[in-house]
Amino acid sequence: MIELGLHIKQAEKKIDNKQIVHPFDLHIEPGEVIALCGGNGAGKSTILRMIVGILQPSAGTIELNGLNWKEQRVEYLEQIGYMPDHFQFAAGLTARETLSFYAALRGVPKAKVDDALRSVGLYETKDKRVTQFSKGMQQRLLFAQAIIAHPSLVVLDEPTNGLDPYWMDAFVELVKGLKAAGQSVIFTTHQLQVADAASDRAIFLMNGQIVQSGTIEDFRARYGALGLHGAFSELSASPDRPATAHMHAPAPEKPIPSSADKQQGKVSVKIKGRRD
Amino acid sequence: MGFRNPWSYSFLALFTLFTLALMVIQSRSYLEGYTYSTGTMLTLVLYLLPLMTILLSSFSLTAEKEEGSWQLLSTYALTTSSFLLGKYFGQALVLIAIVCFGYGLSGVIGALLGAGFSFATLLFLLSFSICIILMFLGIAMLIGALSQNRWQALTWGVSVWFFLILAWPTLLISVLSFVPYTWIKPVLQVATILNPAELVRLFSVITLGGGSIFGPEYYKWVNWFDSPFGVVGFITLCFIWISLTLLIAAFVWERGRKHD
């Protein structure tokens, strides 16, 4: 029987004998949203690159809906939409031409290009050259490219980089839309409030190791209103923490600190909301 | 997308200027077939066109790596061979459009001034240029596959161009001086096949009736190209050359994809 969803078993990545990602297991159900969190160089992007086949795991297996990259590469990749972190668009092409190119590669009818542009708020600027776009607009176009073919797994590397607060909220809604359509999503982010709002589960990485993972409710149960921020603060305080902790059972709730700055023994709490 | 590349327009301007200069050279010649000015023009085309092809096309491949677009494309259900073939034909289209424009414009200006290329000469130069483009595109794909960035491609590209175009005659003479006399002919034949610029030049000059300038060592080539199988044989050799370079490029590219 075909196991639906993404199944990663004991995958690891070594480059020149350096352990970039330690062996890990991960299972993503259809319609599940996972956030990969952690500092710079934690191994988040490497994991995503292994999932989409840009990097090959040094050991272990990665299967998507029963398909393996090495044995059924074309079928495997047909199920994936990927948004890279670093990307430079081709000079001279408009947003519509760029998206039409990627749509054609996926065999998506041209009519859907405008719908995708509308969904990321770029329809009005569809005939503008992409190189004239701001970072945030380019990110939205890359996002549209990743979702245009309705893949079963959407892999997003730092999708909220350069987005203004309005589009961060819109991103959360778009991810919820993908989830509602039964598509799985895995994304990396430094914006923990986005991870908190958009994902079902969060995984914290440090030095290529999963150091904490659990549902958003698990994190809230353990860290109170701080949620993922609490987990990140704890990891930052103990940067060499080696053991993997899975939060399947809620830990005793920590008292919620009230305000301000860590140097003064205080923690600031940001309240989400729009000023208008 | 190659038509949106600003480099293509720089090469278009350069090549057009170049063909206008050829037109001026040709305007001093009143003879048909292989002449001194035809030979000069072939040599000039051989200096510029391979370098243009190698740089424009290998940069097009390395840019894909440097700008992250290959990383994105590699997550699409796209095979390495279809990617490289797409690049090959796309670049061929751009480069052929450049040479067509260049020769076309100099042909029109020449016709208006009443001095310049005859239609037959233009057609010959165009065919010669297309052959050079198609052969060197294979080399450019290989250089692009081997290089990680544009600087590497530039170094490799200029080195290959220098070796095949500029240094070739001198190198050949030097190497042949160490070879026993009876080996000279076979070595020359193999060497001619190994250098696409030399192969195309040889075929073009022989087709124009200038085969005698190569001397007795090339007698077999002259006879062979003049025979009914000459054209078919030449096309087959070109096809093998292009296929081999593309196959090696695909192998190198695919190895990089699997070993990342």
B78 in contact with chain A, both atoms CB, cutoff 8 A: yes
B173-186 pLDDT, tens digit each: 888 888 888 888 88
Residues B30-69 as b/e (b if ≥16 CB within 10 A, e otherwise) read eeeebbebbbebbeebbebbbbbbbbbbbbbbbbbbbbeb
Distance in angstroms between the alpha carbons of the first and the last residue of chain B: 27
Contacts of A82 in chain B (CB under 8 A): 72, 75
Confidence check on the interface: ipTM exceeds 0.85, yes or no: no
Best of B10, B67, B75 to substitute, by most chain A Cβ atoms within 10 angstroms, is B75
Residue B79 touches chain A, beta carbons under 8 Å: yes
Tell which wins on pLDDT, B157 or A249.
Answer: B157
Contact criterion met (CB < 8 Å) for A84 and B68: yes
CA Rg, chain B, in Å? 19
pLDDT tens per residue across all 276 residues of chain A: 677 899 999 999 998 888 899 999 999 999 999 999 988 888 999 999 999 999 999 999 999 999 998 888 889 999 999 999 888 888 788 999 999 999 999 999 988 999 999 999 999 999 999 989 999 999 999 999 999 999 999 999 999 988 888 888 989 999 999 999 999 999 999 888 899 999 999 999 988 999 888 888 888 888 777 878 878 887 777 655 544 555 544 444 444 343 334 444 444 444 455 444
Query: CB distance B1–A93 less than 8 Å?
Result: yes
- Search chain A and give the residue with CA nearest B82: A105
- Taking the Cβ of residue B81 and every Cβ of chain A, the question of whether any pair is shorter than 8 Å is answered with no
- The pTM (predicted TM-score) of the whole model is 0.79
Q: List Cβ neighbours of A65 (8 Å cut-off, separation of 6 or more).
A: A2, A3, A4, A5, A79, A152
